[in-house]
Amino acid sequence: MSRAPERDEDDLDAIAPPQPVFHVEQALLGALLLDPHRLGDVTGIAADSFSTAAHAALYGAISTLPPPDPAEHAKNTTWLDHVLATASEQARGLTASYVHTLIQVCPWPRHAPAYARMVEAEHARRRLQTAAEHLLQTIHDVSLPHPVQTVLAEADALGAVVDDIASRFPPRAGALPRTALPPPPVPPDRSEAVEEEQLLLATATAHPADIDSVRWLLPDDLTVPLHAGLWQCLTALARRREAVDPVTVLWEAQQRGLLDDGSAPRDVIRMLAEPAGSLDYWGERALQRSLMATADQAGRRIEAYAGDPANTPFQLVVGARRSLADIAAIRTRWQHATGPVPTRRPRHAPPTRAGPPTTTAAAVAPTTRAARATR
């Protein structure tokens, strides 16, 4: 075999990553170099399925060059020379000695399909990890003009990767990820969220009739436990059609034990007595913040699952789909909050025997919520 001069033929071995997949890739490439006809038994992978540029270049060369005649291949290294020359165009560090090493380290060439399946599984894990990283980067990109839409698009892209992995690996029972989840990140400055949630609660107290229009907002969407509890008080009072004002809300909060954390009743009343703006607007702001936090938590969980090489592809699918379900649930509420408001049909009073039927005027509802922030 002809040899191209190289600076150091041992460079590839020196920088070889210690992960098991590296040795799996070596075994697969060795099998294909020794018995090129086994390429027909290999499915589910491409050059970009390999973890190193050198291995990707070699597989690309093997899969694109015409296979040699088996009898001629057993006598000379002509085909191997062509593979090395072609692969070296993409990975200059390749040497003839490394090609021979690949052939020598392959235990059984007939196991090539099994090796390929392992390479495919590891590639699936890397793809999922990359997609989760993209989602997290998008969430924290403060320059986005439409952050929610962009984040949801990245979540859809992540979901497409999960679906593709699921189609390649059949499900197995009891395959749940056992990866320990990372600790929650350090919370950012919540001063803006706290202020907006206070305005939300005060505005709802001043306009309890509007609470029904923001049924898509849940207590868990608020960042402060006291605020979440007060929102429960407000929705409960509105549902029971009881009087709503700062004092009645405070009393409800006491009945629920919300003041046990040391919150001063006077401070609660003062907070609830300072409304501003539109309840819909503050509700959407809180929901958007909750959506981004939910997507961040889901992305971190999926990233942790994909970063654990002990998880099988189907374990990754199960864990990722559970995490994406959280995003899907809050996406539905976001669509209810920001989508067009259906115009209500006129409700006609039933006719009476004493006189002609009477009707109530049709309720006119806005078709969009675009002007909420200015109300």
Q: 22-78, pLDDT tens digit by residue?
A: 999 999 999 999 999 999 999 999 999 999 999 999 999 999 999 999 999 988 999
Q: Enter the tokens of residue 173.
A: 């029972």
Mean pLDDT across 234-256: 96
Taking the C-alpha atoms of residue 240 and residue 59, their distance in angstroms, rounded to an integer, is 69
| Phi and psi angles of residue 95, each rounded to the nearest 5 degrees, phi first | -135, 165
Going by C-alpha positions, the residue among 156, 213, 220 that lies closest to residue 336 is 213
> pTM score, two decimals?
0.81
pLDDT higher at 117 or 360: 117
Q: How far apart are CA 282 and CA 139, in angstroms?
A: 21
pLDDT digits (tens, 9 = 90+) for 278-307: 999 999 999 999 999 999 999 999 999 999
- Asked if residue 373 has pLDDT above 50, the reply is no
DSSP secondary structure letters along 58-94: HHHHHHHSPPPPHHHHHH--HHHHHHHHHHHTT-TT-
Does pLDDT of 214 surpass 60?
yes
Model confidence at 15, in pLDDT bands (50, 70, 90)?
low
Return the minimum-mean-pLDDT range out of 158-167, 178-187, 293-302, 339-348. 339-348
* 273 pLDDT tier (thresholds 50, 70, 90): very high
Instruction: Measure the N-to-C terminal CA separation of the chain; round to a whole number of Å.
Output: 80
Integer CA distances (angstroms), 105 to 33, 40, 101, 301, in order: 12, 21, 6, 37
Cα(252)–Cα(255) distance, rounded to whole angstroms?
Answer: 5
CB 368 within 8 A of CB 340: yes
C-alpha span between 124 and 169 (Å, rounded): 10
Comparison of pLDDT for 187 and 178, the residue scoring more: 178
How far is the C-alpha of 160 from the C-alpha of 220, rounded, in Å? Answer: 28
- Per the DSSP assignment, residues forming a β-bridge with 359 are 348
Domain residue extents for the chain: 11-107, 123-173+191-342+371-375
3-class DSSP state for residue 8?
A: coil
In angstroms, the Cα distances linking 252 to 13, 113, 237, 259, 279 are 70, 66, 8, 10, 21
Taking 60 as the threshold, does the pLDDT of residue 121 lie above it? yes
Q: Is 241 left (phi over 0), alpha (psi -120 to 50) or beta?
A: left
pLDDT at 344 over 80: no
How many percent of the chain have pLDDT more than 70?
84
Query: Contact 118/45 with Cβ under 8 angstroms?
Result: no
360 or 154: whose pLDDT is higher?
154
Q: Please state which architecture CATH assigns to domain 123-173+191-342+371-375.
A: Orthogonal Bundle (1.10)
Does the fold of domain 123-173+191-342+371-375 match that of domain 11-107? Answer: yes
Q: What is the average pLDDT across 270-279?
A: 94
Residue 337 scores a pLDDT above 50: yes
Residue 8 has pLDDT above 70, yes or no: no
Architecture of domain 11-107: Orthogonal Bundle (1.10)
| 359 backbone dihedrals φ, ψ, rounded to 5° | -130, 155
pLDDT at 261: 86
